Amino acid sequence: MASLQHCDLDNDWILIAEVRQEAIYVKHHQKKIAFLFSAMRHFAQELISQGHNLHYTHYDDQNNQGSLFGEVERLCKQKNINKIILTHPGEYRVLAEMQSWQDKLNIPVEICQDDRFLSSLDEFATWAEDRKQLRMEFFYREMRKKWHFLMDGDKPVGDKWNFDSSNRKALPKGMSPPLPTKFEPDAITQDVLQLVADNFSDHFGELGNFHFAVNREEALVVLDEFVAQRLIHFGDYQDAMVQGEPWMYHSHIGFYLNCGLLTPKEVIEKAENAYRNGDAPLNAVEGFIRQVLGWREYVRGLYWLKMPDYKTENFLEATRSLPKFFWDTNTKMNCLHQCIKETSENAYTHHIQRLMVLGNFALLAGLHPDEVNEWYLIVYADAYEWVEMPNVTGMILFADGGLLASKPYAASGSYINKMSNYCKSCHYKVKEKNGPQACPFNYLYWDFLDRNKEKLGNNPRLGMPYRTLNKMTDEKRQAIQRDGQIFFKALDKNEKV
Alpha carbon dihedral 120, 121, 125, 126, in 10-degree steps, equals -30
Do 232 and 286 sit in the same domain of this protein? yes
Instruction: Supply the pLDDT for residue 77.
Output: 94
Nearest to 83 by CA among 8, 192, 163, 187: 8
Residue 345 falls inside a structural domain: yes
DSSP 290-349: IIIIIIIHHHHHHHHHHTTGGGG--TT---BPPPTHHHH---S-HHHHHHHHHHHHHS--
User: Could you tell me the CA-to-CA distances from 333 to 49, 365, 426, 496 in Å, in that order?
Assistant: 51, 14, 6, 10
444-493 pLDDT, tens digit per residue, is 999 999 999 999 999 999 999 999 999 999 999 999 999 999 999 999 99
Of the candidates 144, 68, 134, 57, the one whose C-alpha atom is nearest the C-alpha of residue 99 is: 68
Considering the domain architecture, whether residues 106 and 125 belong to the same structural domain is answered as: no
Mean pLDDT (whole number) for 188-198: 98
* Final residue in a domain of this structure, among 57, 87, 112: 112
Distance CA 227, CA 221 (A): 10
Tell me, yes or no, whether 125 and 105 share the same domain: no
Are 63 and 103 within one domain? yes
- pLDDT tens digits for range 347-400: 999 999 999 999 999 999 999 999 999 999 999 999 999 999 999 999 999 999
Torsion of CA 216, 218, 222, 227, to 10 degrees: 70
Query: pLDDT digits over 263-293, tens only?
Result: 999 999 999 999 999 999 999 999 999 999 9
- Is the pLDDT at 1 greater than 80? The verdict is no
- Is residue 312 in a domain? no
Q: Among 173, 158, 174, 162, which residue's Cα sits nearest to residue 235?
A: 162
- Alpha-carbon torsion angle 35, 36, 40, 46, nearest 10: 50
Within-domain flag for 235? yes
Residue 5 has pLDDT above 90, yes or no: no
Q: How close are the terminal C-alpha atoms of the chain, in Å? A: 47
Nearest Cα to Cα of residue 455 among 311, 314, 308: 314
Cβ neighbors of 404 (< 8 A, separation 6 or more) are: 134, 136, 299, 302, 390, 393, 394, 395
- Report the number of distinct structural domains present in the chain: 3
Q: Please, are residues 87 and 3 in contact by the beta-carbon 8 Å criterion?
A: yes
Q: Are residues 129 and 230 in the same domain?
A: yes
Query: How confident is the model at residue 76, as a pLDDT?
Result: 95
Residues 97 and 157 in one domain: no
Examine the domain organization and report whether 301 and 165 are in the same domain. Answer: yes
d(CA 229, CA 249): 8
Residue 417: pLDDT band with limits 50, 70, 90: very high
Provide the residue type at 246 as one letter: P
Which H/E stretch holds residue 49? Answer: helix 30-49
Does 203 fall in a domain? no
SS (H, E, C) 104-137: HHCCCEEEECCCCCCCCHHHHHHHHCCCCCCCHH
Q: Are 39 and 84 in contact (CB under 8 A)?
A: no
Domain that holds residue 158: 121-183+215-306
320 located within any domain: no
Give Cα separations from 179 to 9, 214, 222, 370, 493 (angstroms).
42, 18, 11, 35, 40
Q: Mark whether 130 and 70 lie in a shared domain.
A: no
What's the confidence (pLDDT) of residue 375?
98
Least Cα distance to 34 among 257, 215, 222, 197 occurs for 197
196 domain residue, yes or no: no
Residue 165 has pLDDT above 90, yes or no: no
> Are residues 296 and 427 both part of a single domain?
no
Shared domain for 294 and 347, answered yes or no, is: no
Last residue of a domain, one of 306, 340, 363: 306
Assess whether pLDDT exceeds 90 at residue 430: yes
264 Cβ contact partners less than 8 Å away, ≥ 6 residues apart: 116, 117, 118, 257, 292, 293, 296, 297
Residue range 49-62: average pLDDT?
96
110 pairs with which residues across the strands?
85
CA atoms of 327 and 322, how far apart (whole Å): 9
Q: What pLDDT shows up at residue 6? A: 85
Quote the pLDDT of residue 124. 97
Q: Is 0.85 topped by the overall pTM?
A: yes
In one letter, which amino acid is 468? T
Which stretch of DSSP H or E encloses residue 37?
Answer: helix 30-49
Domain of 272, CATH number, reads: 1.25.40.80
- Picking from 129-133, 158-162, 227-231, which range would have the lowest pLDDT averaged per residue? 129-133
Q: What is the mean pLDDT of the chain?
A: 96
Residue 87's domain is classified under what CATH number? 3.40.50.620
In which region does residue 317 sit, left (phi positive, over 0), alpha (psi from -120 to 50) or beta (all else)? Answer: left
pLDDT for residue 324:
97
Separation CA 219–CA 214 (nearest Å): 7
Inform me whether the pLDDT recorded for 50 exceeds 80.
Answer: yes
Tell me the residue length of the chain.
Answer: 497
- Average pLDDT in the 65-87 region? 96
Contact call for residues 373 and 382 (beta carbons, < 8 A)? no
Residues 88, 112: contact at Cβ < 8 Å? yes
Asked if residue 447 and residue 334 are part of one domain, the reply reads yes
Domain ends where: 271, 306, 341? 306
Q: Quick one: pLDDT band at residue 159, thresholds 50, 70, 90?
A: very high
